[in-house]
Amino acid sequence: MYELINQISRWAIPVMLLVIPLLAFIRKVPVFETFVEGAETGFSTAIKTIPFLTAMLVAVSIFRASGAMELLASWLSPILSVIGIPADILPHAVMRPLSGGAALGIATEIIKTHGPDSFIGRLASTMQGSSDTTFYVLTLYFGSVGIRKYRYAVASGLAADFTTLIASIIICNLMF
Amino acid sequence: MVNYVWLFMMVFGILVAGAQGNIEVVTKAALDGAQVAVKTSLSLIAIITFWLGIMKLAEAAGLVQALAKLVRPVTAFLFPSVPKEHPAMGAIVMNLSANILGLGNAATPMGLIAMQELQKLNKQSDTASDAMCTFLAINTGCITLIPTTIIGIRVLYGSQNPTEIVGTTVFATCCGMLVAILADRLLRGLYRNRW
């Protein structure tokens, strides 16, 4: 199963790049011109995300570098340890929705210190793999089309992140 | 809500830095963050331009629409506000498939294309539409089947069974995704009643 998915991942894009232009050509599409026409807005789309990403990443960077993140995690740990969330995992849980790179760094540190096959190492691996950098995705996707009012998107994203955290802890307790 | 989260990170971060006597890290962190943001956006130019070209071809060849048609039963339930067989659906499906297969470079541009298509249907251009909120809820919940990066780190630190976390990861993701869809539905109803 693992091997199969790996093979699909390896082949997916080359096959797409072969099939799409060929099929378009068969259907009498002027392939080169159409590609260029589509690609035209690439630059402006990417550039449009700069103010949004800057706003978000500046805040995340200050929050992290100042030590505020660790402080928040240490405040939360007595409350959360009551419901069975290990204290060591908290910095990762707080950072995961905010910064993909920082969360990966914390997960790596946990795996290095406690070993990949320790309970906390497996838990960190599961959490790193099972959720995405919610704020980065929201900022980037909304930013690319100039949307500033996110309505309830943040709330549903965070609800999902919290569920993933709890589900990771439960399943790791059951499996390992 | 994003306003509160943003303000909280700024204010709490600066106050903590001040109280702990290392206020000087704030300025550096702010500029570092801005630097990373601009670099990220600039590095997106290449992959977005490339995939926009390919997606335009796929659309002209009728492939995106065919894909949208194929997944109509599911998408009609998730995105009631989007017309059936709209190109947005094709882009959404391609984004989610690329995510699941771990093709990060392709997933982001396809997601942005999906957002552009959804924006065409949006009546208020500065406010997220229902369909956009649903798409992002699914998108952030839906992640790769094989988390290659973390498996690599487990190998690096001598794990006996580096891939044993795949099963637990998929389970946790599915729970998160389910809650994302439920929360999206619930909040959509709440917001509609408020305004």
Eight-state DSSP code of residue A132:
-
Q: What percent of chain A has pLDDT over 90?
A: 68
Residues A111/A125, Cβ–Cβ less than 8 Å: yes
Kindly determine whether residue A24 and residue B57, on different chains, have CB atoms separated by under 8 Å.
yes
CA–CA dist A169, A126 (Å, integer)? 9
Q: What is each CA distance from B23 to B17, B40, B102, B117, in whole angstroms? A: 5, 27, 40, 44
Alpha-carbon torsion (B88, B2, A146, B81), positive or negative = positive
Q: Which residues pair with B127 in a beta bridge?
A: A149
CA–CA dist A88, A94 (Å, integer)? 11
Return the number of CB contacts < 8 Å for A and B: 346
- Which parts of chain A register pLDDT below 50? none
Residues of B in contact with A145 (CB under 8 A): 115-116, 118-119, 125
Kindly determine whether residue A128 and residue B136, on different chains, have CB atoms separated by under 8 Å.
no
Kindly determine whether residue B16 and residue A66, on different chains, have CB atoms separated by under 8 Å.
yes
End-to-end CA distance of chain B, in Å? 16
Q: What is each CA distance from A18 to A82, B52, B161, B182, in whole angstroms? A: 55, 16, 36, 38
Quick one: which H or E segment has residue A97? Answer: none
Q: What is the pLDDT of residue B72?
A: 84
- Which parts of chain B register pLDDT below 50? none
Kindly determine whether residue A147 and residue B103, on different chains, have CB atoms separated by under 8 Å.
no
Residues of B in contact with A64 (CB under 8 A): 13, 29
Q: Which of A45, A153, A164 sits opposite B173 (nearest CB)?
A: A164
Kindly determine whether residue B140 and residue A53, on different chains, have CB atoms separated by under 8 Å.
no
Q: Which residue of B has its CA nearest to A100?
A: B149
Q: Which residue of A has its CA nearest to B161?
A: A117
Q: What is the pLDDT of residue B194?
A: 62
Count of CB atoms within 10 A of residue A114's CB? 17
Pick from B139, B6, B149: which is nearest to A105 by CA?
A: B149
Residues of A in contact with B49 (CB under 8 A): 39, 42-43, 46
CA–CA dist B163, A146 (Å, integer)? 40
Alpha-carbon torsion (B129, B134, B137, B140), positive or negative = negative
By the 10 Å C-beta count (0-12 exposed, 13-18 middle, 19+ buried), B43 is classed as exposed
Instruction: Give the three-state DSSP class for B127.
Output: strand
Kindly determine whether residue A129 and residue B169, on different chains, have CB atoms separated by under 8 Å.
yes
B52-65 pLDDT, tens per residue? 999 899 989 988 88
Q: Kindly write down the DSSP assignment for every residue of B134-151, as one continuous string.
A: HHHHHHHH---SS-HHHH
Q: Which of A45, A129, A167 sits opposite B48 (nearest CB)?
A: A45
Q: What is the pLDDT of residue B65?
A: 86
Q: Which residues pair with A149 in a beta bridge?
A: B127
Q: Which residues contact B2 (CB under 8 A, 6 or more apart)?
A: A138, A150, A154
Residues of B in contact with A92 (CB under 8 A): none
Instruction: Give the three-state DSSP class for B22.
Output: coil
A93-102 pLDDT, tens per residue? 989 999 888 8
Counting every residue written for chain B, the total comes to: 195
